[in-house]
């Protein structure tokens, strides 16, 4: 049995946040039902084309999956259970936003086996929440968090963001205090990225360039402040007992997100739903991004219409076979995102060649510059290496 992970994409949200470039949009319930039906068809199809797999984790992301009514979530998880073999100890996560959960919904979640929730807070300051275009305020988050705990969830993540417009160390402190006080098991702390195609891009694109160039900025924190915000977050969370295990992820008592760690370890995963990406047998694929194309594909499959498709699944929009060199590069740039880095032995086992034969000079150079270190058969980035990890990780790409 090959252990695999499932990612299930729910592309719906109540309102699009101003910084968000994820594949999601506002659709009515009719469309949501039609989509979930299509999703269940894809789950069945994927199970039939991937026999002999056992599902170790499920991650339902979005969008705002918690916005779906509970019967739809039930339908999705039940379909997975019916079609795939599911590890009894599987981690099953769902992304939630404050204001989209009720105790009834949470009870359904519990009953179908969902055992981990990830709540998008981003900030405990209402002015910042408003600036980000979030649908909730801080009080609403507190209420949601209380519901989650009362429903019995003991593996909960809270997302926060640094590098927000006009953010100061004091404002960040308020958020950090407010979150750690509640003792969630896991905290993800992301630096805001100004992504193309978002309203934030139009608003802050010049500032973003200035920030990157180390110049004075108007609204976004300067490069120097954004560095301090990021460092402060790390120091603060570590002091509160949250251990950093990846660039942006912190966990208490070893409650890491197993699903996400799988991405960095290159465990095979199937992405199901609109635009979802998969890695299987060293082939990276991604599903169509047009929601109508997606549902029509499922509906045609259901009707038994024979479909013409060029890639290896009618759902795929792209398919890329990963060369050995690319696989090695991915192993490095994904694995080194983890604080404990990668094991030399794993590299050898995966590729049948000693890591030094491929990356010897790069590793030596990075170690000499103080960006990388080695201990007990493992290679990992130092703190300053992580700070500039884009620079460091790009050195592992092979020509």
Partner 1 sequence: MDQSKIRNFCIVAHIDHGKSTLADRIIQMTGTLTDREMQAQVLDNMDLERERGITIKSQAVRIIYKADDGNEYIFNLIDTPGHVDFNYEVSRSLAACDGAILVVDAAQGIEAQTLANVYLALDHDLDVIPVINKIDLPSADPDRVIEEIEDVIGLEAQDAPRISAKTGLNIHDVLEAIVNKLPAPKGDSKAPLQALIFDSLYDSYKGVIVFCRVKEGTLKVGDSVKMMATGATFDVVEVGYFGAGQFIPCDELPAGMVGYMTASIKNVRDTRVGDTITHANKPAAEPLPGYKKVNPMVYCGLYPADGAKYPDLRDALEKLQLNDAALYFEPETSIALGFGFRCGFLGLLHLEIIQERLEREYNLDLVTTAPSVVYRVYKTDGTMIELTNPSNLPDPSEIDYMEEPIVEAEIMVTSDYIGAIMDLCQERRGQYISMEYIEETRAVLKYTLPLNEIIYDFFDALKSRSRGYASFDYEMKGYMKSDLVKLDILINKEEVDALSFIVFSGTAYDRGRKMCEKLKDEIPRHLFEIPIQAAIGSKVIARETVKAMRKDVLAKCYGGDISRKKKLLEKQKEGKKRMRQVGNVEIPQAAFMSVLKLDED
Task: State phi, psi for 379 to the nearest 5 degrees.
Answer: -120, 135
Q: Output 114 or 329, the one with its CB closest to partner 1.
A: 329
Query: Which of 190, 201, 316, 351 is in the footprint of partner 1 by CB under 8 A?
Result: 190
- Residue 388 in contact with partner 1, rule: CB under 8 A: yes
Q: How far is the CB of 391 from partner 1 (least distance, A)?
A: 6
**Both tokens of residue 192?**
């805001």
**276 or 379: whose CB is closer to partner 1?**
276
CB of 249 to partner 1, least distance (A): 10
- Sign of the four-CA dihedral 154, 158, 43, 291: positive
Q: Which stretch binds partner 1 (CB under 8 A): 73-81, 118-126, 197-205, 380-388?
A: 380-388
List of long-range contacts for 384-387, beta carbons under 8 Å, 24+ apart:
386/247, 386/339, 387/227, 387/230
Contact partners, residue 32, CB within 8 Å, separation at least 6 = 12, 68, 69, 72
Among 126, 265, 302, 387, binds partner 1 (CB under 8 A): 387
18 in contact with partner 1 (CB under 8 A):
no
DSSP for 341-387? Answer: -EEHHHHHHHHSS-HHHHHHHHHHHHHHTTSEEEETTEEEE-HHHHH
Minimum gap (Å) between residue 150 Cβ and partner 1: 29
Question: Which three-class secondary structure state does DSSP give residue 269?
Answer: strand
Q: Which of residues 266-305 bind partner 1 (CB under 8 A)?
A: 269, 271, 275-279, 284, 286
Applying CB under 8 A, among 191, 282, 313, 382 the residue interacting with partner 1 is 191
**263 contributes a contact to partner 1 by CB under 8 A:** yes
| Residue of 190, 166, 200 lying closest to 248 (CA atoms) | 190
Binding pattern for the stretch 211-250 against partner 1, x by CB under 8 A and - elsewhere: --xx--------xx-xx--x----------------xx--
Q: Which is nearer to partner 1, 91 or 330 (CB)?
A: 330
Eight-class DSSP state of 64: -
Q: What does the block give as tokens for 330?
A: 């991915």
Q: How far is the CB of 295 from partner 1 (least distance, A)?
A: 19
Name the residue nearer to partner 1 (CB basis): 156 or 393.
393
Q: Which of 166, 356, 369, 374 binds partner 1 (CB under 8 A)?
A: 369
CA distance 44 to 126: 43
Told to check if 95 binds partner 1 by CB under 8 A, we report no
Under rule CB under 8 A, how many of the chain's residues touch partner 1?
46
Instruction: Give 62 or 98: the residue with its C-beta nearer to partner 1.
Output: 62
Rg, C-alpha atoms of the chain: 22
258 binds partner 1 (CB under 8 A): no
Question: Which regions of 71-229 does DSSP assign to beta strands (E)?
Answer: 85-96, 116-122, 156-162, 186-191
Contact in structure between 80 and 55 (CB atoms under 8 Å):
yes
Q: Does residue 329 belong to the site contacting partner 1 (CB under 8 A)?
A: yes
By C-beta, is 213 or 357 nearer to partner 1? 213
CA distance 73 to 34: 13
Which lies closer to partner 1 via its Cβ, residue 27 or residue 227? 227
Report the residue number, 70 or 246, with the smaller CB distance to partner 1. 246
Give yes or no for residue 324 binding partner 1 (CB under 8 A).
Answer: no
- Quick check: 284 and 317 in contact, CB under 8 A? no
- Report helix, strand or coil for 169: helix
> Can residue 7 be called a binding residue for partner 1 (CB under 8 A)?
yes
Binding-site member from 193, 307, 311, 321 for partner 1 (CB under 8 A): 193
Taking phi over 0 as left and psi of -120 to 50 as alpha, with beta for the rest, 110 belongs to alpha
Paired with 257 in beta bridges are none
| Pick 82 or 323: Cβ nearer partner 1 | 323
| Binding site residues, partner 1, CB under 8 A | 7, 9, 190-191, 193, 213-214, 223-224, 226-227, 230, 247-248, 260, 263-264, 269, 271, 275-279, 284, 286, 318, 320, 326, 329-330, 333-334, 337, 369, 371, 386-391, 393-395, 397
């Amino acid at each position: 049995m090959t252990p695999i992970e499932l990612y299930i994409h729910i592309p719906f949200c109540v309102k699009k946040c101003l910084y968000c470039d994820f594949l999601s949009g506002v659709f009515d319930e009719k469309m949501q039902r039609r989509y979930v039906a299509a999703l269940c068809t894809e789950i069945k199809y994927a199970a039939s084309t991937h026999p002999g797999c056992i599902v170790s984790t499920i991650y339902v992301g979005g969008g705002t999956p918690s916005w779906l009514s509970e019967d739809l979530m039930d339908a999705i998880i039940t379909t997975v259970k019916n079609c795939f073999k599911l590890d009894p100890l599987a981690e099953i996560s769902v992304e939630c936003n404050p204001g989209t959960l009720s105790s009834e919904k949470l009870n359904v979640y519990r009953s179908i086996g969902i055992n981990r929730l990830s709540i998008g807070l981003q900030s405990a300051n209402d002015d910042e929440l408003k600036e980000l275009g979030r649908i909730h305020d801080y009080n609403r988050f507190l209420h949601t968090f209380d519901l989650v705990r009362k429903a019995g969830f003991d593996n909960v993540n809270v997302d926060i963001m640094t590098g927000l417009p006009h953010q100061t160390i004091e404002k960040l402190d308020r958020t950090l205090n407010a979150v750690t006080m509640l003792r969630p098991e896991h905290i993800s702390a992301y630096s805001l990225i100004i992504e193309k195609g978002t309203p934030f891009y139009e608003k802050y694109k010049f500032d973003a360039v200035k920030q990157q160039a180390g110049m004075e900025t108007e609204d976004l924190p300067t490069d120097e402040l954004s560095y301090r915000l990021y460092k402060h977050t790390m120091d603060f969370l570590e002091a509160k007992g949250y251990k950093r295990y990846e660039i942006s992820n912190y966990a208490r008592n070893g409650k890491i997100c197993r699903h996400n760690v799988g991405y960095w370890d290159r465990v095979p995963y199937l992405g199901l739903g609109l635009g979802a990406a998969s890695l299987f047998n060293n082939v990276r694929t991604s599903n169509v991004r047009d929601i109508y194309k997606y549902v029509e594909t499922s509906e045609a499959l259901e009707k038994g219409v024979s479909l013409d498709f060029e890639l290896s699944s009618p759902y795929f929009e792209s398919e890329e076979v990963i060369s050995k060199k690319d696989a090695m590069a991915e192993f490095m740039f994904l694995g080194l995102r983890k604080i404990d880095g990668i094991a030399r032995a794993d590299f050898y086992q995966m590729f049948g060649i000693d890591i030094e034969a491929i990356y010897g000079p790069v590793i030596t150079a990075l170690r000499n510059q103080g960006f990388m270190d080695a201990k007990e058969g493992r290679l990992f980035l130092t703190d300053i290496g992580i700070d500039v990890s884009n620079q460091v990780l790009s050195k592992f790409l092979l020509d």
